[in-house]
Amino acid sequence: MDLIKGVLILFVMAGHAMELTHQAHLAMWVGAGFRMPLMIGISGYLLNPVRTRHDPAERIFGRYANRILLPWMVALLIYILVSGWTVSWTLPIELLLRPPFHLWYIPVLFFLILVTRLVPFSPLQLLAVGTPISLAIMYCFGLGHGAIGDSLLSPDNRFLRFPVYFFFGMLVAERGLPSRYLGVVLLTGALGMIWWSTLQGSDNDLAFVPARLLMCLGLIALLPRLSALRLSFAPLNALGRDSLFFYLWHPLVMAVLMMAGADTLPMFVLSLVLLAVASKSTARHALVQRFVGSRAAMRSASAPIGPDTVPARAA
Strand partners, 147: 156
Residue 199 inside a domain? The answer is yes
Q: How far is it, in rounded angstroms, from Cα 129 to Cα 116?
A: 12
Q: CB of 209 within 8 A of CB of 139?
A: yes
| 311 found inside a domain | no
pLDDT at 304 over 50: no
Where b means 16+ CB within 10 Å and e means fewer, 145-170 reads: eebbeeeeeebbbbbbbbbbbbbbbb
Whether residue 263 is contained in a domain is answered as yes
Residue 214 lies in a domain: yes
Q: Judging by beta carbons within 10 Å of its beta carbon (0-12, 13-18, 19+), is residue 260 exposed, middle or buried?
A: exposed
What would the DSSP string read from start to end of 107-172?
HHHHHHHHHHHHS---HHHHHHHHHHHHHHHHHHH-SS--BSSSSTTPPBTHHHHSHHHHHHHHHH
pLDDT at 303: 45
Mean pLDDT over 230-257 rounds to 93
Sign of the CA dihedral running 199, 200, 201, 206:
positive
Q: Considering the chain, what percentage of its residues have pLDDT values greater than 70?
A: 94
Asked if residue 166 belongs to a domain, the reply is: yes
pLDDT band at 310 (very low <50, low <70, confident <90, very high): very low
CA–CA distance, 112 with 110 (Å, rounded to integer)? 5
Residue 144: pLDDT band with limits 50, 70, 90: confident
The neighbour count for residue 291, using CB atoms within 10 Å, is: 14
* Average pLDDT score over residue span 49-67: 88
Checking if the pLDDT of 13 tops 90, the result is yes
pLDDT band for position 24 (cuts 50, 70, 90): confident
- For the segment 228-241, the average pLDDT, to the nearest whole number, is 89
Position 139: which residue type?
A: Y
Q: What is the pLDDT of residues 174-223, one digit of tens each?
A: 999 988 999 999 999 999 999 999 999 888 878 999 999 999 999 999 99
* CA distance linking residue 222 with residue 213, whole number of Å: 14
Residue 112 covered by a domain: yes
- For residue 232, what pLDDT is reported? 87
pLDDT(286) > 90: no
Residue 276 has pLDDT above 70, yes or no: yes
Better pLDDT: 286 or 109: 109
Q: How many domains does the chain have?
A: 1
Predicted confidence band of residue 296 (pLDDT cuts 50, 70, 90) = low
Q: What are phi and psi of 147, to 5 degrees?
A: -90, 155
Cα distance between residue 301 and residue 115, in whole Å: 22
Q: What is the mean pLDDT of the chain?
A: 89
* pLDDT greater than 80 at residue 88: yes
Query: For residue 197, what are the domain limits?
Result: 2-304
Q: Which residues are CB-neighbours of 203 under 8 A, at least 6 positions away?
A: none
Residues 6+ apart with CB under 8 A from 72: 103, 106, 107, 248, 293
Q: What is the mean pLDDT of residues 18-45?
A: 91
Q: With 60 as the cut, is the pLDDT of residue 312 above it?
A: no
Distances (CA, A) of 295 to 168, 226, 242: 28, 24, 5
Residue 14 counted as domain residue: yes
Kindly state whether residue 220 falls inside one of the protein's structural domains.
yes
